Amino acid sequence: MIKVKFNFLLLLMLSVIGYAQNKEITIGGTLTDAATKTTVPYATIVVKDNTTDEVLSGTTSNDNGFFNIKTTANNFYVEVSFMGYKTQSFKNIDTSKNVVDLGTIVLEENSQALAAVEVRAEVSKTQFKLDKKVFNVGKDIASTGVSALEVLNNVPSVNVDIEGAVSLRGSSGVQILIDGKPSVLTESGSNALGTITAEMIESIEVITNPSAKYDAEGTAGILNIILKKEEKKGLNGSVSVNTGIPDNHSVGVSMNRRTEKFNLFTQFGGGYKSYPRYNENINENKIEDSRLVSEGTSYRNEVFYNLILGTDYHIDDYNVLTLSGNIAYEIEDQPSETNYSSYLNDVLQSEWIRTEETEATNPKWQYEFNYSKEFKNNKEHILLFSALGRFFGKDLSSEFTNSTLSGTNKEKDQQTETKFQQADYTFKLDYTNPISDEYTIETGGQYVINDVGNDYEVRNYNGSDFVVDNNLTNTFDYNQKVLGLYGTGAYENDTWGVKIGARIENTDLTITNEGAKGVQNYTNLFPSAHTSYKFTDSFSLQAGYSKRIYRPRLWDLNPFISISDNYNIRAGNPDLQPEFTDSYELTSIYKIGKATMSTSVYYRYTTDVMERIAIIEYDPESKNDVTTRTPFNVGSRNTTGVEINGKYTATKWLSFNGDFNWNYFDRRGVYENQNFDFSADNWSTRLNSKISFPLDIDMELTGNYRSSNQTVQGEDSGYAFADLGLRKKMLKGRAVINFAIRDIFESRISESVIDNDRSYQYSFGQRGRFFTLGFSYGFGKGEAMTYSGKRR
């Protein structure tokens, strides 16, 4: 009996000891910066054995500085470390409790470590979040000394064509924001994005399936450009000087001064750029056996200035006011010369040269007020209000002169004058409340006013004077108001998350064209849903759905005719309706050894698709075809695609980045009894390699290919092109010299063909090779296009 009791007591003691050894303890806390009071994400937290200092488990803090780590050990301590900060250790932890809250951990800068250590986050990297991808702009050579358009062209899923048009996964229905808001610098038809240089950009958010929190505009999604706003104490900044061939000269300065209450920031720059473009067109009428051939080079010479000035005022630890302004000014000069040859029955009838002299001034400005309130119970419990006003003007005049070389030229000398003004106002309120560690709700609203006016006048020379052509002259006014309200709810833990929401928008549009008024008023519901699941540290899945709208822009609606080429005309359509798209996406993210990769499968269904239709008419006076390209709503489009992005680090001196995008689309539509039903596919790919040499010299080589694309009436040709970059660091990384060649083989082209029983239309355009040379220097705690120490 005694032996039985002893065995029972022994078994009970072993069970208690085993339970104590296997008990899981959860340790949590939040990391903050001692100087700025901001949270510190991506710091390293490890659990170590008290006796052997062996690492038992580890994790990193999330975007909000919070961490949560578990262990079954009972003799351990916790260590917190991050580059540029002093390491902290927490010992004598009470292991009798299942949950240990270390509270708010304040990290102090380690100035000696900052001076001695360089963070080699040189190639831009992509982070994946619940409803977006974040492309952090690093020290890529090809992005140095270039504009925001070139930076966008290096972002996975994004393409920028020869004309500067931005597309996302092959679709042009993309909305571009700056710091989460519309900007005069992103207006369609404006080259103002060229005034933002790579040195000014912190990151670019790629939101292919935006949640209901975001404006529903943009059927392909949203690109959000986040500008740098340094918050290190003292005076910090950098200066850059760039030059290039063709003319591409600029100077940029970024400065920041941080005190306890104020954060003053400014960025300003100026320069001169020249954009030459070679064009060739063939208009052939097979019935009349006539052909018109034109070729020539046009230039867009531009002097530009850009100034951003603002301040953050920290009223207290929970309330911040921000005032900022942006002024940009461009002076354009656009000379061109085009040679025309007219044939009838393959016999040359006439030759002439048409020259263009265009001058324009483009003033732009923007002002903004923001108020941010952080609630005491949670740093993520935030109320944001913003009011934004912006203006864009263009005062343009052109003169076209024709010189006959042979035969009879019936073209008239002409003059045009354009006065354009656009004023936009945006009022936005956002409220975010994390009601628990897992649940978050968001709600808010936005009211946008767009008020645009465009006066366009054409004058023809009658032999003695220029006389107004009433058939081509018009006054066009565009006033649009959009009211949006939204709500979302999200649940997210360490492995799984889901976010659903809905947005309702009312659009009130009034168009006045030469006194004739048209009104459109419609209300739409835009639901969204996103989810993610983390299977392991190396593999996770994301899925999303959203409904989007693409409203026609001013230049899509304005029926004015461009007379730069009287035989190849682009005009708008005031009856154009918006596109609507239902977008679905499934993305996997995984790591395999030294490689990281993401694969997305997506599907988009778009109704009332806007297509530019070429209307070809025979002009009996000139005996040539005249092609007018005008947008119309033509049927629907189903698109199914696959996108793959990846990175492979072969060695310390060699790495590769690449992406591949393929999509198949089914087009259905009829316009004026012409059937546009067809199916086709297209694809694009990009591969970037980086090689590091001794003496702090790096080289990057990027290859791109874009396949041909079938359109409703013809085909756009494919093309391949390559870029090369070299960099040399000096003065311990404070100074950097960069050299780049864009489009090494001059193979990046724009080429389209329309070929039917009646006519043959050919269009070709090419920008050519560009060379750039840049120098950048960082002062204070600023860097020369590099990130060092802590995350900003």
Q: Are 207 and 214 in contact (CB under 8 A)?
A: yes
pLDDT tens digits for range 539-562: 888 899 999 998 887 778 887 777
Mean pLDDT value across residues 601-620: 90
| Rounded distance between C-alpha atoms, residue 176 and residue 184, angstroms | 11
Residue 196 binned pLDDT confidence (cut-offs 50, 70, 90): low
Mark whether 387 and 523 lie in a shared domain.
yes
CATH number at residue 272: 2.40.170.20
Tokens of 343: 């044939």
Amino acid (1-letter code) at residue 242? N
Q: Are 550 and 581 in contact (CB under 8 A)?
A: yes
Between β-strands 221-227 and 174-178, what pairing exists: parallel, antiparallel or unpaired? parallel
Give Cβ neighbours of residue 610 (< 8 Å, ≥ 6 apart). Answer: 550, 552, 556, 576, 579, 631, 632, 633, 634
pLDDT of res. 110? 60
Q: Calculate the average pLDDT of the chain.
A: 82
Residue 357 lies in a domain: yes
Of residues 357 and 185, more confidently modeled: 357
pLDDT of res. 146? 56
Domain boundary among 70, 87, 115: 115
pLDDT of res. 641? 93
CATH number at residue 38: 2.60.40.10
Q: In which domain, by residue range, is 288 found? A: 234-779
pLDDT of res. 574? 85
Mark whether 105 and 238 lie in a shared domain.
no
Q: State yes or no: pLDDT of 222 exceeds 80.
A: yes
pLDDT tens digits for range 464-487: 899 998 888 889 898 999 999 999
Residue 164 lies in a domain: no
Q: Which of 87-91, 121-125, 265-269, 333-337 has the highest mean pLDDT?
A: 333-337
Residue 598 binned pLDDT confidence (cut-offs 50, 70, 90): confident
pLDDT of res. 508? 95
pLDDT of res. 148? 72
Q: State yes or no: pLDDT of 787 exceeds 70.
A: no
Q: What percent of the chain has pLDDT over 90?
A: 34
Q: What percent of the chain has pLDDT over 70?
A: 85
Low-confidence winner among 120-129, 324-333, 487-496, 749-758 (lowest mean pLDDT): 120-129
pLDDT of res. 119? 32
Backbone phi and psi for residue 164, each to the nearest 5 degrees, phi listed first:
90, 5
Residue 451 lies in a domain: yes
pLDDT of res. 9? 43
Domain boundary among 62, 94, 115: 115
| Rounded distance between C-alpha atoms, residue 516 and residue 533, angstroms | 55
Mean pLDDT value across residues 730-751: 87
pLDDT of res. 317? 79
Domain count, the chain: 2
Low-confidence winner among 22-31, 100-109, 609-618, 773-782 (lowest mean pLDDT): 773-782
Residue 186 binned pLDDT confidence (cut-offs 50, 70, 90): low
pLDDT tens digits for range 395-434: 999 999 999 999 887 788 999 999 999 999 999 999 999 9
Mark whether 548 and 419 lie in a shared domain.
yes
Torsion of CA 790, 781, 154, 333, to 10 degrees: 150
| Rounded distance between C-alpha atoms, residue 148 and residue 228, angstroms | 13
Mark whether 359 and 506 lie in a shared domain.
yes
Residue 84 binned pLDDT confidence (cut-offs 50, 70, 90): low
Mark whether 111 and 248 lie in a shared domain.
no
Q: State yes or no: pLDDT of 304 exceeds 50.
A: yes
Torsion of CA 216, 217, 218, 224, to 10 degrees: -90
Residue 125 lies in a domain: no
Of residues 184 and 429, more confidently modeled: 429
pLDDT tens digits for range 661-707: 999 999 998 887 788 899 999 999 988 888 888 888 888 898 999 99
303 by DSSP, 3-state: which? strand
Residue 273 lies in a domain: yes
Domain boundary among 115, 143, 171: 115
pLDDT of res. 12? 44
Mean pLDDT value across residues 249-264: 78
Q: Which helix (H) or strand (E) holds 491?
A: strand 474-492
Q: State yes or no: pLDDT of 239 exceeds 50.
A: yes
Amino acid (1-letter code) at residue 540? S
pLDDT tens digits for range 158-172: 767 555 667 776 666
Low-confidence winner among 35-44, 372-381, 473-482 (lowest mean pLDDT): 35-44
Q: State yes or no: pLDDT of 565 exceeds 90.
A: no
Q: State yes or no: pLDDT of 20 exceeds 60.
A: no
SS3 percent helix, strand, coil of the chain, rounded to 5, is: 5, 65, 30
Backbone phi and psi for residue 551, each to the nearest 5 degrees, phi listed first:
-85, 140
pLDDT tens digits for range 499-526: 999 999 999 999 898 878 889 899 999 9
Residue 658 lies in a domain: yes
Of residues 788 and 138, more confidently modeled: 138
**Of 184, 134, 182, 174, which Cα lies nearest the Cα of 155?**
134
Mean pLDDT value across residues 371-391: 89
Residue 148 lies in a domain: no
Mark whether 106 and 239 lie in a shared domain.
no
Q: Are 607 and 580 in contact (CB under 8 A)?
A: yes
Residue 72 binned pLDDT confidence (cut-offs 50, 70, 90): confident
Q: State yes or no: pLDDT of 112 exceeds 60.
A: no
Low-confidence winner among 94-98, 280-284, 333-337 (lowest mean pLDDT): 94-98
The number of residues making up the chain comes to 792
Residue 293 binned pLDDT confidence (cut-offs 50, 70, 90): very high
Mean pLDDT value across residues 479-496: 92
Strand partners for 655: 649, 690
Q: State yes or no: pLDDT of 232 exceeds 60.
A: no
Mean pLDDT value across residues 307-326: 85
Residue 85 lies in a domain: yes
pLDDT of res. 126? 64
Low-confidence winner among 213-222, 595-604, 683-692 (lowest mean pLDDT): 213-222
DSSP 217: B
